[in-house]
Structure 1
Amino acid sequence: MARLVTRVLVLAIFGLLASVEANVEEDELVATVVLFRHGDRAPLKSFPNDKYSDEKYWPKGIGQLVNAGKYRAYQLGKYLRHRYHTFLSDDYKYKEISVISSNIDRAIMTAELVLAGLYPPTKEDIWFKNLLWQPIPVHTMQTDNDNLIQMEASCPKYDTLLEKITKMPEFEEVKQRYSDMFKTIAENTGWTNVDIETVKSLFCTMYVYSKHNPSYIPEWYTKLNQKSLKNIAGLAFAIPTYTKEMQRLRTGPFFNYLINHLDGAVKGEKQKFLAISGHDSTIASVLSTLNCYSFEPPEFTATVFWEVYKTNSGDHYVNLLYKKNSESEAELIQLDNCKSNATLDELIAVLSPILTSEEQWRHDCFDSTSAAGSRIIDSRFLIITVIVLYVNKYL
């Protein structure tokens, strides 16, 4: 593989952030991958007593992109055009950019809207003067086979690990610590069993309401500790990648795809710009795997950037950045455990516990004799430490 050099800052695991510009000194940007969450949507589901979860309040349908989300996605495209105006051609070129999305309507539509903002047609690309838009392909895969973006492909081994993890004492401790809050939620929602996952579901629905129509938020919810609700929801997003083995089965295919694309782009064998349209769970799992997840639920159009630069001496390094919402700038974060001036091989070594090929992933998911279950105790030590520190500090 081509040699990349990873430039990192030694930052705290919960993320000291520093603003950076796309052009770093005199170094040349040679490849970029962006992963973004879709724009604002209607709620996916809500609690039994919530009258506003009825589809009559969401004419485009439950879980569908709403107008505010369309605008936010379009604005992200304009942001990318401004950031990469010297990197990408003004007109769309298929050899420069590739776009993939989960096979979910809101993600596909977001990708299309981002592209509309990124590539407004000019000159010969204007095919109808009254419509300044041009079609650009967005590639997807069936949800049942998607172990890359939505991460919903069947994996029995992962399901077993996840079930074991959710029963661990660390999470029972959170439930006990907030028993009064959980009781209040149960009394008002109609849920018979409230746990960390249902609190996340409640938080996400109320987040949608806060963006769309705050009057939909019930008064009892506003009286709850909002910081605690957000922190519990943030913790819930980290559970799917709680151990190294879970990371390998959940995000391993993503990072394998990412590294192959960056390496190919540096060699000139792949497009220099890759856009990935995904979900809050995608972003949280990716950042959590890199140990740079802030335990804040990803907002609409939150974006992760991987930017590869070439120095005057011919070396390459990667900057990892995060744009938390539509109002913020992309900010530099760290790739955990990487040394300064690391080669691609050293970067791969950092990710080696979770990197997996498609064939190996399927073998491990469906092989009942896999050692995944036996590694659960050994692989979780660091992540348990992080979770416990987080619980003690923030919850």
Structure 2
Amino acid sequence: MAGPGAQGHRAVPLLLLLLLGTQTVAKGPLVFVALVFRHGDRAPLASYPLDPHKEAAPTLWPRGLGQLTGEGVRQQLELGRFLRNRYQHFLSPEYWREEVYIRSTDFDRTLESALANLAGLYPEAAPGTPESSWRPIPVHTVPVTEDKLLRFPARSCPRYRELLREATEATEYQAALEGWTDFLIRLGNSTGLSLVGEPLRRAWKVLDTLICQKAHSLPLPAWASPDVLRTLTQISALDIGAHVGPPRAAEKAQLTGGILLDAILANFSRTQHLGLPLKMVMYSAHDSTLLALQGALGLYDGHTPPYAACLGFEFQRHRGDQDEEEGNVTISLFYRNDSSRPPLTLRLPGCPDPCTLGRFRQLTAPARPPAHGIPCHSLHEPAATPAATMVPLLAGAVAVLAALSMGLGLLAWRPSCPGAWGGPV
């Protein structure tokens, strides 16, 4: 699954269940923040056989295909400065390792994006800092094949393949695909790719290449008209919807974005329970990560997160008897997908803003892995043994910080499957 997301740092706002927010945090004393953001602008992931810029790719993209560009660095610096302004009274003015934890997928563009973001968030990591006072800030990652938190199951998860096949075999999906047959034939002739009967990700890669080239002022081939780009965007949205939407959207979420959502809630609970000084966890990832998380929250509206888009979870503590079991805690969600406007305030379906933590847990429970775990095995195949299906998942940052600060090793056990969800972008 993938989406274009190459519109620069501006995007069409979420259309459903949203209110325009502000850049101030005044709903209650902040106690914890989790941020998930997409990397910055990058080079195209691939080319296509008849791409007129194919031979010039090494010159056009000197750092390589899929790599962060100078514009991507600027976008992340700007996001980091926004976060410094938003949390200037919450975070310490200088980096403190017990206060902030940064996790990235193991890709150059997400690791570099995290570093650029931190350079905007903390003065001592900023470009131009005198050598004597410059302090790099650590970014943590795990190998791609071991990342069960920010990358999700697909080909290696039989149950997820079943769910995806059910979506792609649905009447509505097939009707839409049939309506695009002639278009895909023409596009195949123009690009040199076989597109009819192939996964829609192949058509998306053409769109990604064209949008990246357009964003960097490269001339597009004559056949790549606005109508063609629009149709490719619609095809991409159909593919995304099959991955995160109905049918069985909640079960899909349990194998994808619900895993990260569960870890965010677990990080907060354990931080509070152990009295850790951790205030913020930052995740540098991909549009597929954000789309899966939006799907788990019931907030996907058909638009792809642009570069440097950021989804934030803000936990506030209130006085009174709002939610005694959860310590009077509420969660507010914001989504920053346009650097020229204040971030959007998101409303979890069925809950006002801010949403009490107890109600938030209740509403998102169907999309999060249950305590006994969700196996990846097919319903039509024998279940694997527990040892084969149970894979340890590090719940974000708390396990590491607890081990470093208190000598405790906390491990959240959840079943998962190795492998990636169509490849991150």
TM superposition score category, shorter chain reference = 0.7 to 0.9
Note the 1:103-252 alignment, pairs <5 A.
103-121=106-124, 129-130=130-131, 133-151=134-152, 154-194=156-196, 196-215=200-219, 217-242=220-245, 243=248, 244-252=250-258
- The AA in structure 2 aligned to 1:201 is K
Deviation at residue 342 of structure 1 after TM alignment: 5.4
Note the 1:1-395 alignment, pairs <5 A.
14-25=16-27, 27-54=28-55, 55-56=57-58, 57-121=60-124, 129-130=130-131, 133-151=134-152, 154-194=156-196, 196-215=200-219, 217-242=220-245, 243=248, 244-267=250-273, 268-269=275-276, 271-313=278-320, 315-338=328-351, 343-356=356-369, 360-361=373-374, 363-365=375-377, 368-369=381-382
Q: 1:228 to 1:132 in 2, by over 3 A?
A: farther
Contact kept? 1:111, 1:138, Cα under 8 Å:
yes
Distance in structure 1 (CA, Å) of the matches to 2:178 and 2:127: 61
Contact kept? 2:38, 2:310, Cα under 8 Å:
yes
1:272-303 residue CA offsets vs partner (Å, 9 max, x unmatched): 11100000111111112212112111111011
Distance in structure 2 (CA, Å) of the matches to 1:227 and 1:126: 38
Deviation at residue 111 of structure 1 after TM alignment: 0.6
Runs of 4+ residues over 6 Å off in structure 1: 125-128
- The AA in structure 2 aligned to 1:299 is P
SS at match of 1:360: coil
Q: 1:168 to 1:183 in 2, by over 3 A?
A: same
Deviation at residue 359 of structure 1 after TM alignment: 7.7
Distance in structure 1 (CA, Å) of the matches to 2:238 and 2:16: 13
Contact kept? 2:331, 2:355, Cα under 8 Å:
no
Q: Which moved more, 1:177-186 or 1:41-50?
A: 177-186
1:76-97 residue CA offsets vs partner (Å, 9 max, x unmatched): 1111111111111110011110
Contact kept? 1:303, 1:322, Cα under 8 Å:
yes
Q: Identity of counterpart residues, as a percentage?
A: 28
Q: 1:83 to 1:161 in 2, by over 3 A?
A: same
The structure with the greater share of residues assigned to helix is 1
Deviation at residue 223 of structure 1 after TM alignment: 4.4
Please, what is the CA RMSD of the aligned residues?
3.0
Q: 1:35 to 1:81 in 2, by over 3 A?
A: same
SS at match of 1:50: coil
- The AA in structure 2 aligned to 1:214 is L
1:23-72 residue CA offsets vs partner (Å, 9 max, x unmatched): 225x2122111100001111112322114345413110111111111111
Contact kept? 1:145, 1:152, Cα under 8 Å:
no
Q: 1:184 to 1:307 in 2, by over 3 A?
A: same
What are structure 2's unaligned runs of at least 5 residues? Answer: 1-13, 321-326, 385-425
Distance in structure 1 (CA, Å) of the matches to 2:333 and 2:110: 22
Deviation at residue 201 of structure 1 after TM alignment: 2.4
Distance in structure 2 (CA, Å) of the matches to 1:346 and 1:272: 22
Q: 1:235 to 1:328 in 2, by over 3 A?
A: farther
Q: 1:224 to 1:275 in 2, by over 3 A?
A: same
Aligned residues: 355
Question: Which TM-score applies when normalising by structure 1?
Answer: 0.80
Contact kept? 2:159, 2:378, Cα under 8 Å:
yes
- The AA in structure 1 aligned to 2:265 is I
SS at match of 1:214: coil
Q: Which moved more, 1:203-212 or 1:341-350?
A: 341-350
Contact kept? 2:315, 2:331, Cα under 8 Å:
yes
Question: Which TM-score applies when normalising by structure 2?
Answer: 0.75
Contact kept? 1:100, 1:140, Cα under 8 Å:
yes
